[in-house]
Amino acid sequence: MLTSFLRWLTPAIVLGTGVMGSQLPSNAQCESSYNPIPFSSAGEMTDTLTEQDIPTGQGGFARDYRIEFNAGDQVAIDVLSENFDTVVTLMGRDGSMVAENDDAPSTPEATTNSLLFTRIRKSGSYIIRVRSFGEATGGQFTLRVTRLRPV
């Protein structure tokens, strides 16, 4: 039970959102138990967002992935799902938000998939957070990271 509690509580502590009025473990304990999933070097992976993932505080859930970027990288991060309305956030390792996207730019067919374009300013480890919009519990999704190259 404590392990499950720490699993969802830890990202809130690490990301500075905290939990008011709770007896919290030390930061060292929290950081050692928060371990985002390493992102596949293949650039694409299919996964499932469930009620066992990180509660967002808005009724939905989130799942975090760790990825390395180099300064100057231009990346496209997209999340595709037929099961829920996706939101993708790119965060620094310290939890600071780099960029976020809810719905991909308008296309002929309406979509609630997410598509984020950004340029990386500093080399290092980043977190890609996939979450459901609102109170959706989740489902299967595909996360794709494309490193763009100038033409």
Which of 45, 2, 50, 51 is CA-nearest to residue 22? Answer: 2
The verdict on 5 and 73 lying in the same domain is no
**Structural domains counted in the chain:** 2
Considering just the CA atoms, what is the radius of gyration of the chain in Å? 16
The verdict on 26 and 41 lying in the same domain is no
The verdict on 78 and 103 lying in the same domain is yes
Residue 24's pLDDT is 42
**Residue 22, domain extent:** 1-34
**Each residue's pLDDT tens digit, 91-111:** 998 889 999 988 766 555 667
Quickly tell me which residue has 């290092």 as its tokens.
Answer: 124
**C-alpha dihedral sign at 126, 133, 57, 1:** negative
Average pLDDT over residues 136-143: 88
Alpha-carbon distance values, 136 to 22, 69, 108, 132 (Å): 26, 30, 25, 6
Q: Report percent pLDDT > 70 for the chain.
A: 73
DSSP 8-state code for residue 106: P
Residue 1's pLDDT is 37
The verdict on 48 and 30 lying in the same domain is no
Arithmetic mean of pLDDT over the chain: 79
**Each residue's pLDDT tens digit, 48-94:** 999 999 998 888 899 999 999 999 999 999 999 999 889 999 999 88
The verdict on 91 and 118 lying in the same domain is yes
The verdict on 122 and 56 lying in the same domain is yes
When pLDDT is cut at 50, 70 and 90, the band that residue 19 belongs to is very low
The verdict on 30 and 40 lying in the same domain is no
The verdict on 14 and 45 lying in the same domain is no
The verdict on 20 and 45 lying in the same domain is no
The verdict on 26 and 40 lying in the same domain is no
pLDDT at 15 over 80: no
CATH of the domain at 116: 2.60.120.380
The verdict on 22 and 40 lying in the same domain is no
The verdict on 12 and 45 lying in the same domain is no
